[in-house]
Amino acid sequence: MNITAAEFVMSNSDVKKCPKPDKPEYAFIGRSNVGKSSLINMITNNKNLAKTSSKPGKTQLVNHFLINKEWYLVDLPGYGFAKVAKNTKQRFSRLIFKYIESRPNLVNLFVLVDSRHEPQSKDTEFMEWLGINGIPFSIIFTKADKLTKRKLAENLEAYKKVMLESWEEMPPYFISSSSNGLGKDEILNYIEETIKTTRE
Sheet (strand 6-12) strand order? 6-12, 62-67, 71-75, 25-30, 106-114, 137-142, 173-175
Helix (H) or strand (E) holding 98: helix 86-102
Give the C-alpha separation, 3 to 98, whole Å: 29
Helix (H) or strand (E) holding 123: helix 121-132
CATH of the domain at 120: 3.40.50.300
Helix (H) or strand (E) holding 175: strand 173-175
In a domain, 121, yes or no: yes
Residue 94 structural domain: 6-199
Total of domains in the chain: 1
In a domain, 62, yes or no: yes
Q: What is the pLDDT of residues 61-72, one digit of tens each?
A: 899 999 999 999
Of 18-27, 46-55, 93-102, 147-156, where does mean pLDDT reach its minimum?
46-55
What is the predicted pLDDT for the residue at 79?
67
Mean pLDDT across 68-86: 73
Give the C-alpha separation, 61 to 78, whole Å: 10
In a domain, 1, yes or no: no
Whether the predicted pLDDT of 118 surpasses 70? yes
- Percent of the chain past pLDDT 70, that is, above it, reads 88
